[in-house]
Amino acid sequence: MIDAQDYAEFARFLSECCGLVLGENRQYLVASRLSRLLGEFGYGKVEDLLRALRQSSNPTLKSRVIDAMTTNETSWFRDGYPFEILRQILLPELEARKKPIRIWSAACSSGQEPYSIAMVISEWEASFPPKTSPVSILATDLSESVLAEARVGLYDGLSIVRGLTPERRQKYFDTVENGHRIKPDIQRRVRFQKLNLMDSYAMLGKFDIIFCRNVLIYFSAETKRRIFDGLARQMDPGGYLFVGASESVSSYTDAFEIVRTPLGSLLRRRS
């Protein structure tokens, strides 16, 4: 069992480097997530790995530990309504401005969200040509390993069925020996980049739409305030933000107002 001091110091490490809050009595979770790294780094016990993490400046060890502790639960077209709002409301509205449209998928995990966005854009462009406003998608995540998976765009039989209709599976994927690979015309619509949400976003530029869904529930209230303020700075007034269905921003920032549509709700940057 991880002792109280090792656990407290590891919880502090996670909070400081990536904002994740472990809470109390999660020693079993830590041990189960990190046990797979023991052989990779040559440690006999999780406690040894934690002490090495505290004493070492090895960036690979730090990165692999963060990867192991980060929850990368995702699916295609998760919750459905954000993608319908994007297709039916936001893209036509932004197209009318006749300038490039920029979309950011934050905490994108293994790519299902940004690729779902890319599919929606592809379908929208096909349904209502011609288009005068090119759309770019930036997808970011803290984890090097999930970004590597996302860039490859190869998905196994279990992950490919979560949220995808048979029609979209056939249209947007090629069946290969090891699973299903996203087709190049969808893949090249997305640019992947490593980014820690605890860091500055200023170098990313401004966005018209930001997806930051189902990730901030793991952060402290102080960190949520910092992140929401950072997201607000990356969009002009009138820009749109999607958060998770169970997430709220009202306790952390007044930079956004709720927009209710027949398809569901989203947030808009105040003027």
Q: What is the DSSP string of 138-184?
A: EEEES-HHHHHHHHHTEE-HHHHTSS--HHHHHHHEEEETTEEEE-H
CATH 3.40.50.150 maps onto the chain at 81-269
Question: What local confidence, expressed as pLDDT, does residue 168 receive?
Answer: 95
Looking only at the bridges linking them, the beta strands covering 240-242 and 209-211 are parallel
For 169, what's the count of Cα atoms within 13 Å in the CB-facing half-sphere? 16
pLDDT for position 73: 67
- CATH number for the region 4-69 comes to 1.10.155
Quick one: pLDDT at residue 114?
A: 98
pLDDT of residue 94: 95
Model confidence pLDDT, tens digit, residues 216-269: 877 888 889 999 999 999 999 999 999 988 888 888 999 999 999 999 999 999
For the chain, which ranges sit under pLDDT 50?
A: none
**pLDDT at res. 157:** 82
Q: What is the rounded distance in angstroms from the CA atom of residue 25 to the CA atom of residue 22?
A: 9
Residue type, 161: V
Class of the CATH-defined domain 81-269 = alpha beta
Query: Start-end ranges of CATH 1.10.155 in the chain?
Result: 4-69
Q: For the whole model, what pTM was predicted?
A: 0.85
How wide is the angle at C-alpha 2 spanned by C-alphas 72 and 38, nearest 5°?
60
